[in-house]
Structure formats: C-alpha cells, structure tokens
Amino acid sequence: MILALGNVSKAFGTDIVLDNVSFHIEEKEKIGIVGVNGAGKSTLLKLITGELSLDSGQVIMPKNVSVGYFSQSLELDSEKTVYDELMSVFEPIMAMEKEQRELEKLMSHTEGDKLKALMSRYSELSHALEENDAYSYKSRLRGVIKGLGFSEEESGQKINELSGGQKTRAALGKLLLLSPDILLLDEPTNHLDIESVSWLEDFLKGYNKAVVIVSHDRYFLDRIVNKIVEIENTRAREYFGNYTYYAQKKQADRENEYRRYINQQREIKRQEEVIKKLKEFNREKSIKRAESREKLLNKTERLSAPDSLPENIRFKITPSKPSGNDVLSIKGLEMSFDGVPLFKNVSFEIKKGEKVALIGPNGIGKTTLFRIILGRLEPVGGSAATGANVITGYYDQEQTDLNLNKPIFDEISDAYPKLTNTVIRNTLAAFVFRGDDVFKTIDTLSGGEKGRVALAKIMLSNANFLLLDEPTNHLDINSKEILEDALRDYEGTVLYISHDRYFINATADKVIELNKDGTVTYLGNYDYYMEKKASTDEKSSAREYKEETENKLDWKKQKEIQAQQRKRENRIKRLEAEIKDTEEKIDELDKLLESEEVYTNSVRSREVYEEKEALEERLMALYEEQEEIMQ
C-alpha cells in the first residue's frame, strides 16, 4: 500500500461534498475516479496533496513517497521554451554529468590518493546516473514532446507564446517526466487530440508507479485503469475492473439493491398484515403468535432505499420535417489563411439519417470546415452544398452563438418567440434548469451549463441536420450517455467533431478522417476505423474507402455473437420466470401457514414451513445466478 484514505470528510459551509470516504492505493495500481460534475472528484485529489485541509479522517502515505498533481494549472517558466522547460526536470542529472566531465579533466593529471578520491566520486556519480536512467533522458524528453503533439518548431517556442491548450500539454509533459511515485491526473485528455491521447494511454500503461485519474473519457479509462472509485452522494464505492466493468456492475448492483429493498418492503408489509390479523382473532394463542412475529420483525435489519441516480439530462430531438436523401455534398474543398494552406482535396457526401464523426489532429481545420458548411467562411476552392429541405442546427463548443448578457430564459424565448412560457420552462427543466435557475445570466454559468443551454436551443430548433462541435466537452459521463441515447434515436442526420472515442463508438456509423491532403471515409465506428487504419498502407490515406462489405464484421463471428446474446437473453428470461414462480409459491405457503387448518396442525405446519424454507434457499440461489449473469 502506497496511500490510504480513512473516513475522509470535507464540507464547504453546509454543503457536504465527501463523507467518510475510504479506499487505498497499491504500488503500480491504476485507478479511475468517476462521478458527476460537482461530486467532489477534484476535491478528493486536493485533499490527497494537502492543497485542501480535511474536516475529519486521515490520508496515510509514507514520507518518502512523491506525489505529482496535474490540475491543468501547473506553474511554468514563461520565458523558457517548451524544450528547455521540460529539460529542466533533468537539471540534477545534467549537474552530475557536468561534474563527471570536470572529474575526467582533473583525473587526467592527478596521481596517488587524490586520484583515488576522484575515482571514488566518479564511480558514485556513475552509479547515481545509472539509477536515474540518465543515459536515455534526452530520448525520453523527445518522446514526450512528440507524443503530446508538439512539432519541432513548437517545442522551440517560449511558453508565453503558446495557446492555453499548448501550455496545458507542456505542463502535463513536465509532470510525466518528473515521474512521481503517485501520479494524480485531473482530466488529462482535455486539449489532446486522439493521436496524443493514444500516446498518453501507452505511456501510462507502461508507467511502473501508481496513477490516479479523474476523467470523463470512458475509452481512456477502459484502456488504463484496473480499479474504479465512484464518488456518488458524498460516498465512495470501489469496483475492481475498468470503466465498462464498473458501468455494468453498477447497473446490476443498483437493480439488485432495488429488488432486495422492494422484496423486503413487501415482506414487512405482509408480516404487519399477518400480525394485525392474528391480533384481531383476539385469542391467547393468536396474540402470542402475533407478539412473536412482531419481535422477529423488529429485529429485522431494515434495508435503506437505494440512492437515487443523479439527475440526468433527458431530451428527444425531433426534426420538424424530413430532409431529402442528399444532405451534404463536399467537393474538392480547399482552405488556407494568409496564404498558409490548411487542407485541400476535401470531398465526401452525407446521406439522410447518417451519424458521422469527423476526426483529425488539433489544428487541421475541423471547426473551419464546419464554418464553411454553415456559410460563415468562404473556401479558397471547391464547394460545400446542403440538399433539399435541410434545416441545420449548430452546436458550437465555444458557445459563441449564446448571448452572455442574457438570462437563460430570455436566450431561449428570444430565439423562439412563438413558444409559450410553459414550453420553454419544461424544456429547460429537462436540461436541469429549474425554478429561479432559468433567470441566471449566461455569463455566470459553467462550461457544462452553457453547453446544456446550447443543446436546449438545438432541441427546440427542430433541425434535421445537426452540426455538433465537441458536444461532449464539459459533460459528465451520465450526461454523455443521455446525449448518446438521443442521437441514436434521432431521425435526422448528424455530423460531429469529437475526440471522445467511446462517444464515437456509441453513435457513429461513419468516420471521416480529415488531414491536410484530404479525407478518408470509414463506414463504421471508431473501433472499426482503428482496425482498418492499422491494416491499411498509410500512403493510401487520401483514398476514400466505400466497399461496404469490408466494413462489416465477419459473418460467422457476427452470428456467434448474436447466438451468445440470444442465449444470455433467454437465460435471463428463464431466471426471471422462475424467480417470479418461486416468489408466488412462497407467498402461497405463507398464506397456508396463516390458515387455521395448517397452523393448528403441527405436523402439517412443519411440512409447509420446511417446503417454504427450501423454496427460499432456491430463491437466493436464483438471485445469485441472476446477479452473476448481469455482471
């Protein structure tokens, strides 16, 4: 164990954020911290580092353990270049190397005991350098700089010349090179393109120390972590697996908790009714039985009602009218700024009902392409045309279409003046803006709240072609899942930019990769894109792949998967039927035990009771089998 949290609690005023949170971290363990926005994930990391003080509990950590905390606000020397700032991590190594070179000069003209002393010190330095892997630090530095998406030119820029996202990447790179015993990462994939995120995944998988990650990137968590700590309703719960395991186990646990709670409530109610009836008989024996049952009932450990799930964004997007079959046609599009080329030879088509992900490295021009489609920018060459009856709805990741000075309610009512106050309030309530929240001005909202306002506007627009620029930014996992459901059910057409690979897998039936020389189209989700990209010669990246037969899973494999799914579904149905049948039989036996002809006959009463016990054991076995299959 390298770190332990024991009954840690933290409140801000009367708002309890964390309450008796306990878990521990082993050496080399990779842990993901998940929970809705505001659950206390970042607060938890700050309590570990000591940036925030504990209200109660303790954080136990050996004194010699080093902790590195990435919160996207690390201090950097603004006058240094990216390369020099990251190289500063290795100043102790460089100092030892410099001392070695000086010793070499001295040893060349020193003799006797002085030479022995110099050689001894030289040996110490050699050993220290070897322990610190000093002979590869320059290649490690170059690997991190390249992996995080810095070009050679950018690595020579001063920190104060960088964009906010570039500074964040530089800060992350510095922390990775410091190589602390416990690496605390708060949303490390923000500002990284897909290629850089993939590199970071490989880096962290090979990191031989402990890593704790707060992230809404489910694909990222799936590839790295072996334990999930969920913060929900101020408490923490551990799940020993990756994100997908956690999501499935949580759902099964919640269903089982609810089922056990309902069953116990039903049993308590039944016992109370039996006790009431026995008392109504007003006989000595029946009153004694009632008292006996009452004592047993009072001793029963009552299950608490399961925690309600966090409130989610729930909405359905319905086009006002269908578009034609040809929604978007891009032909030979070319764009440059001040003579500097951005992309060229961009050609693709989007048909009615398609859900298309547009991917590519940061700065390649994805948002620019959207603005050309919307008619807000004029291309250098080529054309972008929408088809008949296409009504476009645009979600801007920067929310530039929102008036920051307006209250939320006015932003919606001014955009759609024909809507009644009731319709607007009901729509905003679906996006968790209730009561006086609707009168907050937009400039006071968080990034996620602004995103929800922008999504509400799109929902009310009745668009049949959605252009979404990074729609999952600032959304927590629950909100992402609600958005995924809405897009899957959407009858219109969607083209979106995203670095969220889990989101792309869940929603896309086509992936278009944009590069400076054109586009490549893959008729599948992100996993399919990766599979095809790995098997395709990179030189063919400007070609468009349209052979649909190659984009399907192997027929036999698909049939096997379908058969396994049917078998699982049939098993679940069989279990549910047997559970229902067993529960009904137990209820019937309970009624028999209550009947006078049985409870006055000790032999018959014993037979019925033993039969009931056997059925209850069978019911528990069925519950366990059901829990196992639902995992």
Q: Is 351 helix (H, G, I), strand (E, B) or coil?
A: strand
The residue-averaged pLDDT of 610-624 equals: 77
Residue linked to tokens 């088509």: 349
Residue at 413 is within a domain: yes
Quick: pLDDT tens for 157-204: 999 898 888 888 999 999 999 999 999 999 998 888 888 999 999 999
Q: How many whole angstroms separate alpha carbon 171 and alpha carbon 45?
A: 17
pLDDT score, position 555 = 45
Residue linked to tokens 């962290």: 204
Residue 131 has pLDDT above 80, yes or no: yes
pLDDT score, position 315 = 62
Q: For residues 370 and 483, state if they share a domain.
A: yes
- Please give the model's pTM, rounded to 2 decimal places: 0.71
Q: For residues 78 and 225, state if they share a domain.
A: yes
Quick: pLDDT tens for 212-260: 999 999 999 999 999 999 999 899 999 999 999 999 999 888 888 888 8
Residue at 515 is within a domain: yes
Residue 427 has pLDDT above 70, yes or no: yes
Q: How many whole angstroms separate alpha carbon 223 and alpha carbon 207?
A: 13
Q: For residues 279 and 228, state if they share a domain.
A: no
Q: Which residue has the higher pLDDT, 341 or 555?
A: 341
Tokens of 212: 């704790």
Q: For residues 260 and 217, state if they share a domain.
A: no
Within 258-354, strands assigned E span: 326-337, 340-351
**Domain carrying residue 618:** 557-630
Domain count, the chain: 4
Four-CA torsion 13, 14, 20, 21, nearest 10 degrees: -60
Residue linked to tokens 């009615």: 352
Contacts 24+ apart (CB under 8 A), 273-280: 274/590, 274/594, 277/594
Last residue of a domain, one of 549, 575, 601: 549
CATH number at residue 353: 3.40.50.300
Give, in degrees to the nearest 5, the angle at Cα 134 between 128 and 135: 125
Residue 541 has pLDDT above 50, yes or no: no
Residue at 426 is within a domain: yes
Q: Is 166 helix (H, G, I), strand (E, B) or coil?
A: helix
| Beta-bridge mates of residue 182 | 67, 210
Last residue of a domain, one of 199, 222, 242: 242
Q: Between β-strands 465-469 and 493-497, what pairing exists: parallel, antiparallel or unpaired?
A: parallel
Q: Which residue has the higher pLDDT, 572 or 63?
A: 63
Q: Are 347 and 544 in contact (CB under 8 A)?
A: yes
What is the H or E stretch that residue 59 is in? strand 56-60
Q: Is 305 helix (H, G, I), strand (E, B) or coil?
A: coil
The residue-averaged pLDDT of 427-455 equals: 84
Q: How far is CA 468 from CA 114, 355, 395, 397, 462, in A?
A: 72, 11, 5, 8, 15
Q: For residues 72 and 119, state if they share a domain.
A: yes
Residue at 345 is within a domain: yes
Residue 567 has pLDDT above 90, yes or no: no
Residue at 4 is within a domain: no
Q: For residues 531 and 565, state if they share a domain.
A: no
pLDDT score, position 110 = 87
